[in-house]
Structures are given as structure tokens and as C-alpha cells.
Amino acid sequence: MNPKKLISHICCDNHGEGPSVYDLPLPKSLREEWLRLASRRHFLGRMGKTLGWAGLAVLMGDKLLAGAASAAEPPLPSPEALHLPNFPPAAKRCIYLFMSGAPPQMDMWDYKPGLSALYDKDLPDSVRGNQPLTGMTAGQARFPIAPSHWKFSQQGNAGRWVGDLLPWTGKMVDDLTLVYSLQTDAINHEPAILLMNTGNMVPGKPSLGAWLSYGLGSMNENLPTFVVLNSALIPHSNQQPISPKLWGSGFLSNEYAGVAFRSEGTPVLYLDNPPGLSSATRRELVDAVNAINQLTYDELGDPETHTRIQEYEMAFRMQTSVPELADMGDEPASTWTLYGEDAKKAGTFAHNCLLARRMAERGVRFTQIYQRGWDVHGDVVGMLPKLCSATDRGSYALVTDLKRRGMLDDTLVVWGGEFGRTVYSQGGLSKDNYGRDHHPRCFTVWMSGGGAKPGIAYGETDEYCYNIVRDPVPVRDFNATLLHLMGIDHERLTFKFQGLDQKLTGVLLAKVVTGLLS
Amino acid sequence: MPLRVRAWMVALGIAAIFPLPILLLQAPPDGLQRAELAQFLGRFHPLAVHIPIALLLLVPLLECAALAREQRHLRQSVDFVLGLAAAATIASAWLGWMLAWSGGYEGSLVTRHMWGGFSLAVASLACWGLYGWKRSAYALAMLATVGLLIWTSDQGGKLTHGDSFLTEHAPDPLRRWLGYKRPPAVDPTSFYAMRVQPIFEEKCVLCHNAGKFKGKLRLDTYEHVMRGGKDGPVIQPGEPGKSELFRRVTLPPESKDFMPAEAKPALSGPEIKVIEKWIVAGATTHIADAEIQGLLPSSEEKAPAAPLTADYRPQSQTIATLESTLGIRLVPRSQNPTDGLILRTDSAPTRCNDATLEQLAPVANLIVDAELARTQVTDKGMQAVANFSNLRFLDLSKTAVTSAGVKELTKLEKLERLNLTQTRVTRAGLAAAKMNPRLKGLYLFEAH
């Protein structure tokens, strides 16, 4: 290429590709002076870019660009900035015993003596109304009423009727707040369990525990604020899957998500230092990794990087705190007489209840224990006694233990599933056995301690245990009540996401059920 | 202008206003807001009306001026001005209908004004028609038109500014002559002025004011509150249960009749209580604020919670220093700064000992809840705890505290809960200590 041909004018630099004024046979000082001068070309070029950016700014809105400029600022309001609790809480911590799969309320809690006379009679259409059923029973030719196989007996000072399958829990009915009238909007497990745990049937919302961690913060910096304990499976039970989205933090920072402990072996894997690695070396390693992560955070401002730093720190501190927590050698003999020998076996429900009590002592804000297997579509008579015996004593022991240790005053215990079960039998009904399908219209949960009114039964279902006739409690109202007991106005614990001030209780009108408060 | 042309144009004008009475009857203003564009155009009505007003008033002026010989040429303008006035009147009437229909208006005042506007359009058109045909009829029609104009404008003015706008500040002789009574002045120290009216102004007046009185109810003055709405009075003095206003604000928020409507902020519990008190006391403006207190049974009054401690915020600096040097946390119990602090040791219970408690002296009276479980504190530290004068909750479980230490705690008059689980306190020692009678929860599980 002939350079001289390309240059049509000495000012032209041919877009930087061809020879420029630098290539001309001029004294160096003159060439530099020339280049310092802004030519019309430079002027127009720069002006065009400026206008382009200005146009882009208008199109994108100033927030996006401003966001890029101030990325290193704290991305979320910290729990301190939220100034919670809104009022002095009745409960400082909460233990939620989640019966995944949905226990049959009329076999355990909601006593319906009139049903035995209706054995194998059809459930009147007027009771069912136009309710869509699940695919599992929608095709059934008839809906025969299955009275409970078990007897009920009166317990406690109030003479409350409790199913004989719950000999232990029945003993403490005076300490319980029974709610017969919970109702949910979902008829299948996944949406229903999400609704109970996160306030929304669609995945991606923060769970109750994550909201509490975010809103109230940690009480013990050496342990997670929100711990999940998955109990060992009960053989032959019909288990529904549960997954971390039930204890996830959704759009909140990941540091507020629940930390799931294992049900077998050590609660947290790889917590011990490998042979030859001292704690001091581990500390240096964590410091170095955190320093690198901090550089990344300063540069990009991604809150997830910050979460990662927190997690490294938490893991390091848990190296000492978790073994101490899990070592139950310091428990007095009275503990084992209360919880039973079963509690010595890691992973059992009773063991997890004891672990939850130990965590409550050490300042874990929220513990959620899952027990799967309650999905009794068939063989209720065979399965339900196993499920009850696996959970009955642990629930009783936990509440009783908290009470005698003076902790029930400020610890809230909640027991419940994601919906109820139908009064009519799924599949064949015989005198010896029956099945029960999903039933969202009513189910029973209980609370204890932490400001819940002890010894009451709230709400009432009809004689078929099918519809609520008095004081229905939608899930959102129940969750609003739980937040209230923890000192939080559910309307005020919000987080702006996708253009909405998101909250646990959702967009429908939710209210605190004052009848449940002491 | 030839008579035939004029007749055609009058016919055209009639055609232009003909739909208006049909719309007035078929789609009367009903208080709803609708149709953005109609609202936009309609809001020019208060501006545009001044054109026909000026033009219509100009006609008699021109006629009078033209009586003088040297101004006779002015008469030539009358035809043009009058024609223009008729056209402008018709246009204004249409804009007015748009505003009324779409802008959330309702009530007899706006209906009267609309019929006035329509009549005025017909009248001005008639004047113009008669002008080229019969002078005497024209003169009479013009006189009537001006009268109608004044009445209609007055109605419109009342719509915009309120019906006492002109007379409010008139000198008393004039007011007497006009037959207006000055509304009895509301005593600014009365319960109504100090407590009730501010609630109405904050929560109700947006929709119940002079310009936009939903349900024909205005709540911007005492007279209007008592006058009521389209279903009659909304306040029955002495009987909150029979007062429609009270019923509406106390309905469940889901209810169709609930007020404030359209998800506007509801009245708070105390606000409802104030209105209830006022109605029970006779719903007058005479009762002073001080008198009305205590008219209701005092059990319904919820006494404001007394502060548990002093405000902790002036001590923030001290608190931060103590937290960082002692390895403890001093956490506010709630966002109310007089609910006190929690002394929290869960992160490092072994760091907390008797010396720690002594160093907390600067904030001793702010601590309401001391979580000392599993710490190294002993009986000696209880002397420091005894100075936590506002302490309500004390957890000493799994500490080395004995009955001797508990004896120190008898000074804590406000203590409600004491946890001595797994300590060396004995029942006998505790009985000897004589704790304060307020103590509701005492836990001695696994104590010796």
C-alpha cells in the first residue's frame, strides 16, 4: 500500500489504520503540537460519543448507570439498619417441627366422634361442593367416609380430646395452642410446602427462617442463625421430597439461608481439619482466601462475594462450635429419661429435638426439623402408628425440656404439616384399613411457648372434618402470627424486589390471629 | 347575513347541543373517574367558560354604547360577537359535561350547573337567531340570557370554590341583608377541632371536600359533617352504633362499604377511639378537649406503656466501646429506645465473668434482660447484677452461682423471671433470699 496515496489530507489519520500525521516528514515538536490540537474530526467524534452515552443514559434510566458507579456500596440494608424487632418479642427463637407429607388431622387431633356412625356412607356432595380433587381420587366412583381407626381420650386440665396415637404429646396438651382451622390454597405437596415455608407457592421466595435471620440477625456468631435438621427416614413410609428451596433465602443474600445439618455421622461434613493441618494454618488460609474475595467484592460489588466471605468465616468458627454442640456427653441423665434412648441415635427425630434444644440454648435463632413420610394415601392403619411413635415422644420431650429449663417463655415451638387429609377413603375402605388423600381446606397445627396462648383450641371444623365453620386461619395469617411472636410486624419486614415490597405474608391481606396470643 | 343562512346555522347549533340533554339524563355524573382523555379536555372547562361569559356580557355593553350617536358603529359588531358567544357557549357546555362525567363529580350542585350550561347554550343560540329576525324578542331573550348566565356562573363558582367562597368574608351588614348566617365558629381548643377534624383532614377530606364530595358527603367543616350525605346524616350524636360514618370506618377492611375506600389508609385504632368518644359525648364543638376525657369507661383506654428504661441512644458510644472490649453484645430489645437492652453473651460465654459485669456499670440501668447462661460469672458478680436496677429477665443457668449470690439479687425489684437451671442454688437458700413478689418465673431444674 502506498502511504502517500492514502493520505488525502495531512490531518487525516485514516482511523488509526493507515499512516497519520506522525508519518509525515515534519519536525517532532510540530507533529506533537498538531496532534494536541482538537480537529473538527476529533470534536465531532467526541461529541457523537457524548451524545450517544447521554442517549443511552436516558434510555436505560439513571438508576442502572448510577448502580454501576456505586457498586461497592453495601447492597442490602443490614439487619441493624432495619431496627427490628418492632416491639419487644415474646419469643427470641423458634423451633419448627415440620411434618412433611401432611398428617391426617382427624386421626390425631381433630376429634369427630360422629363419624363412626357414618362409616362407608358417601360424603355428601354439599360438603365437598365444587372442589377440584387431586388426580389420585378425582376418578373415584364414590367417596366413602372413613372414621378414625383409633380412639381419642381427654387429656389435660381442659379435657381436650387427643388421639391415642399421641400418648406423649397428649400429656402436655395444657401447654399447647391447638389450631384446628388452618387452611391452605394448594392441594399438592410442592406448592403447599413452599407456601407454608416461604409464603408463596412459586419457588424463589425467602423462607420464614431466612426472613427471621435477615430481620433479627444472629445471636451467636459462631453458629448459623437458621439451622435445618432433616430427620432420618421412617422405613416404608411414603416420602415426599424436600429441597433447599424450602430453607433458601430467595432474593435475600445467601447468608440468611438455612444451614442444613446432616442426619448421619457428623452434622457438618469436612469440618475437621485434615491430618497435619493446624488450626493456625487453617486461619491463615481462610484469611488469604477472604482477602482475595474482598478484592473481587471491592471491584465488582456482587453481594454473593460478600456472602462467600461470611461463609468461610462461619465455617471456621463452626470448627469449634459445632463439635461442642453435637457432643451430648454433658447432658444429665434426666435428659435421656425424657427424650428416650432413641435420642442417642443421630438422625432420629428425638435426637434432632434434643439438638434443637441445645442450639436454642446457644442462641440459634430458628431451627426447622423436617420429618418426612406423612403422606398416607394408603395403609393409614399400618403406617400412622409408626409415624406417630417416631415423633410423639421427641415433640413432647422438647416442649417439656424447654419448659423445665425456663426456656419455653421465650422459645416458640411449632408443629404442623403442609395440609390436611380427606375424611373419605382413598382407594378401598375396610374396617381394618383405609387411605386418605390431600385436603387443603382444614388441618391442625399446634404451637407452644413463646407468647402463644397455652391450653386453648382455636377454630372449628364441621362434623366431617372437611370445612371450617369457625375462625379459619389462612397460611398467611399463621405466618403473620409467627412473625408477631418474634417481635416483627409482618407488614414492615419487607424487601424491594421485582418492583414489589416483598414480604413473607404476600400481597393478600394478612392479619395476626390475636386469638392465638397470650 | 341572509335569514336563510342564519336559520341553517342555528339549526347546526341545535344539532350540536342536541345530544347534551340526552347524555345528561343517560350518563349523569356519578362520582366515578374514567376516560383519561375526557378528563384532560374536561379540565379546560373552568378556563374556557370565561370566553362565552365575557362575550355574552359584551353584547349588552355594545348595545348600550351604541345608543350614543358617535358610537353607533359598534352595533355592527353585535351580530359577530353574539354568534361567537353562542358557539363558545356550546363548546364550553361540552367540555363541562366531559369534566363532570369523567372527573368524579356527583351531586345536585353539579347537575344544576350542567342544566344551566345547557340552557345557556340554547338561550345564546336563540338570541343570535332572533337577532336577525325580531329586535324586541331579541332584547327580551338577551336579558333572560344574561340572568341565566349569572346564575349558571354562580353555580359553577360554588362547585370550584365552595358555596361560601363569596360570602365568607363579607361584612356582617351585607351578610345579614343577604340572609346568610355566619357558621358558628368552632372553638379551636375544642375536642372536635383538636382531635376529630385533623383525622377527617388526614384520612377523609381527599374524597369528601367541596369539589368532590363522594356520596354527597363533605367532611371538611363541622356543618357539613353534621349535614351528612345522600343517605342522610352520618353522625347520630351519642350513638356511635347508629352513626353511618362510624359504622363504615369500623367495618372489616374487605367490606364493600368500608371507608376510606379504594385501599386508602384506614383509620388507626386510636383514631377510631377518638371519633367514638366524640360521638358519645354528643358530637358537638362545645366540649373542650379536657372535658371529654374519661367519658368512656377507662377500661377501654390502653395506657401507653411506661418506658422500661431511659433512652439508650445517648450512650451509643459507650455501648459500642463496651461491646468491642468485653466481647459481649448490648442489643436493643426493640426499636423503641426505652425498651432497654439485652446483655447477650452467646457468642463468647466464656469471656464473660465477674469483671465483665463490673465494667457494665455505665449502662447498668439500661439492661432489662441479662443472658448470662453458661458464662463464668460467680456469686461475686451478682453484686454488679444487683445494680441492674431495671432488670426484668435474668438467666444464670449453668453458672457457678450459689444461694449466696442469689441473696444479692433481692435488691432487683423489677425482676420477673430468674433462671437458675443447673446451678448450685438450693431451695432452702432461695427461700431464705425472699425474692421480690413480682417474680413470676423461677426455674430451678437440676439445681442442687
DSSP A139-172: T-S--BB---SS-EEEETTTTEEEETT-HHHHHT
For residues A35 and A503, which has the higher predicted lDDT (pLDDT)?
A503
Check A406 against B373: CB less than 8 A apart.
no
> What's the mean pLDDT when you consider all of chain A?
89
pLDDT at B190: 79
Min distance A361 CA to chain B CA atoms (Å) = 8
For residues A28 and A236, which has the higher predicted lDDT (pLDDT)?
A236
Residue A126 and residue A409 in contact, taking contact as beta carbons nearer than 8 Å:
no
Residue range B200-221, pLDDT digits in tens? 888 888 888 877 777 778 888 8
The residue among A132, A170, A134, A178 whose CA lies nearest residue A435 is A134
A19: in domain: no
The residue among A407, A414, A474, A397 whose CA lies nearest residue A209 is A414
Flag the least confident range among B234-238, B285-289, B404-408: B285-289
- What is the rounded CA–CA span in Å between residue A241 and residue A203? 14
Which residues of chain B are at the A interface, by a Cβ-Cβ cutoff of 8 Å?
Answer: 253-254, 333-336, 339, 344, 346-347, 373-374, 393, 395, 397, 417, 419, 421-422, 441, 443, 445-446
Per-residue pLDDT band for B198 (boundaries 50, 70, 90) equals confident
Contacts of B282 (CB under 8 A, 6+ apart): B237, B238
Residue A484: give its domain's CATH number: 3.40.720
Q: Which of A219, A400, A514, A518 is the best substitution to test chain B (most B C-beta atoms within 10 A)?
A: A219
pLDDT at A7: 47
- What is the rounded CA–CA span in Å between residue B425 and residue A31? 95
Write the residue in A87, A222, A404 that is nearest to B334 by C-beta: A87
Q: Give the H/E segment covering residue A30.
A: helix A28-36
CA distances from A22 to A35, A39, B197 (A): 9, 15, 82
Check B334 against A406: CB less than 8 A apart.
no
Residue range A5-49, pLDDT digits in tens? 544 555 555 555 556 666 777 777 777 776 676 667 777 877 887
The residue among B322, B376, B344, B346 whose CA lies nearest residue A222 is B346
pLDDT at A449: 95
- What is the rounded CA–CA span in Å between residue A475 and residue A427? 29
pLDDT at B368: 96
Write the residue in B254, B339, B446 that is nearest to A509 by C-beta: B254
Check B334 against A334: CB less than 8 A apart.
no
- What is the rounded CA–CA span in Å between residue B401 and residue B3? 116
pLDDT at B278: 87
Check B335 against A334: CB less than 8 A apart.
no
- What is the rounded CA–CA span in Å between residue A22 and residue A20? 5
Contacts of B208 (CB under 8 A, 6+ apart): B200, B214, B215, B217, B218, B219, B220
- What is the rounded CA–CA span in Å between residue A195 and residue A203? 9
Check B395 against A406: CB less than 8 A apart.
yes
Place of cell 443490614: A78
- Domain of A380 in residue numbering reads as 79-516
Check A405 against B395: CB less than 8 A apart.
no
Per-residue pLDDT band for B299 (boundaries 50, 70, 90) equals very low
pLDDT at B393: 95
- What is the rounded CA–CA span in Å between residue B368 and residue B394? 8
Residues of B in contact with A407 (CB under 8 A): 419
Check A332 against B374: CB less than 8 A apart.
no
pLDDT of B47 strictly over 50 = yes
Residue range A368-395, pLDDT digits in tens? 999 999 999 999 999 999 999 999 999 9
Work out the end-to-end distance of chain A between its first and last CA atoms, rounded to an integer number of angstroms.
Answer: 92
Residue A411 and residue B419 in contact, taking contact as beta carbons nearer than 8 Å:
no
Residue A221 and residue A317 in contact, taking contact as beta carbons nearer than 8 Å:
yes
b/e per residue A161-186 (b: at least 16 CB within 10 A): bbbebbbbbbebbebbbbbbbbbbeb
Flag the least confident range among A128-142, B28-42, B140-154: B28-42
**Beta partners for A461?**
A468
Residues of B in contact with A84 (CB under 8 A): 335
- What is the rounded CA–CA span in Å between residue A328 and residue A358? 9
The residue among A263, A414, A400, A413 whose CA lies nearest residue A326 is A263
Place of cell 461491646: B323
Residue of A nearest to B348 (CA): A220
A435: in domain: yes
| C-alpha grid cell, residue B19 | 345530544
pLDDT of B301 strictly over 60 = no
Mean pLDDT of B343-365: 94
- What is the rounded CA–CA span in Å between residue A108 and residue A160? 12
pLDDT of A338 strictly over 60 = yes
Quick check: helix, strand or coil at residue A231? coil
- What is the rounded CA–CA span in Å between residue B399 and residue B379? 10
Residue range A436-485, pLDDT digits in tens? 999 999 999 999 999 999 999 999 999 999 999 999 999 999 999 999 99
pLDDT at A268: 81
Check A406 against B422: CB less than 8 A apart.
no
Instruction: Name the residue type at position B166.
Output: L
Q: Write the burial class of residue A376 (CB in 10 Å: 0-12 exposed, 13-18 middle, 19+ buried).
A: buried
Flag the least confident range among A71-80, A204-213, A274-283, B11-20: A71-80
pLDDT of B72 strictly over 50 = yes
Min distance B406 CA to chain A CA atoms (Å) = 17
Per-residue pLDDT band for B133 (boundaries 50, 70, 90) equals confident
A67: in domain: no
Residues of A in contact with B333 (CB under 8 A): 85, 88
pLDDT at A269: 79
Contacts of B148 (CB under 8 A, 6+ apart): B116, B119, B120, B123
pLDDT at A32: 74
A245: in domain: yes
A22: in domain: no
Percentage of residues in chain B with pLDDT exceeding 90? 41
Per-residue pLDDT band for A365 (boundaries 50, 70, 90) equals very high
Place of cell 383450641: A457
Quick check: helix, strand or coil at residue A485? helix
CA A49-A51-A53 angle, 5° bins: 70
pLDDT of A195 strictly over 50 = yes
Mean pLDDT of B327-348: 93
Residue of B nearest to A363 (CA): B346
pLDDT at B107: 77
Mean pLDDT of A342-351: 92
Mean pLDDT of B298-303: 44
A373: in domain: yes
Place of cell 435488691: B411
Which residues of chain A are at the B interface, by a Cβ-Cβ cutoff of 8 Å?
Answer: 83-89, 219-222, 332, 334, 361-363, 404-407, 409-410, 487, 509
Work out the end-to-end distance of chain B between its first and last CA atoms, rounded to an integer number of angstroms.
Answer: 119
- What is the rounded CA–CA span in Å between residue A26 and residue A30? 7
- What is the rounded CA–CA span in Å between residue A342 and residue A262? 17
pLDDT at B297: 40
A42: in domain: no
Mean pLDDT of B100-124: 88
pLDDT at B423: 93
- What is the rounded CA–CA span in Å between residue B100 and residue B108? 12
Q: Write the burial class of residue B312 (CB in 10 Å: 0-12 exposed, 13-18 middle, 19+ buried).
A: buried
| C-alpha grid cell, residue A330 | 454433658
> What's the mean pLDDT when you consider all of chain B?
86
pLDDT at A246: 96
Check A88 against B334: CB less than 8 A apart.
yes
Count of domains observed in chain A: 1
For residues B437 and A447, which has the higher predicted lDDT (pLDDT)?
A447
| C-alpha grid cell, residue B136 | 324586541
- What is the rounded CA–CA span in Å between residue A226 and residue B417? 26
Quick check: helix, strand or coil at residue A228? strand
Check A85 against B441: CB less than 8 A apart.
no
Residue A417 and residue A101 in contact, taking contact as beta carbons nearer than 8 Å:
yes
Write the residue in A84, A334, A361 that is nearest to B373 by C-beta: A361
The residue among A76, A75, A56 whose CA lies nearest residue A65 is A56
A25: in domain: no
| C-alpha grid cell, residue A286 | 481462610
Check B346 against A85: CB less than 8 A apart.
no
Mean pLDDT of A203-207: 96
Flag the least confident range among A124-133, A238-247, A266-275, A318-327: A266-275
pLDDT of B412 strictly over 70 = yes
Residue range A421-437, pLDDT digits in tens? 999 999 889 999 999 99
Flag the least confident range among A157-161, B259-263, B340-344: B259-263
Residue range A70-127, pLDDT digits in tens? 444 445 566 667 888 999 999 999 999 999 999 999 999 999 999 999 999 999 999 9
Q: How many CB atoms lie within 10 A of CB A458?
A: 21
Q: How many CB atoms lie within 10 A of CB B354?
A: 18
- What is the rounded CA–CA span in Å between residue A181 and residue A471? 7
| C-alpha grid cell, residue A85 | 424487632
Check B446 against A85: CB less than 8 A apart.
no
Per-residue pLDDT band for B376 (boundaries 50, 70, 90) equals very high
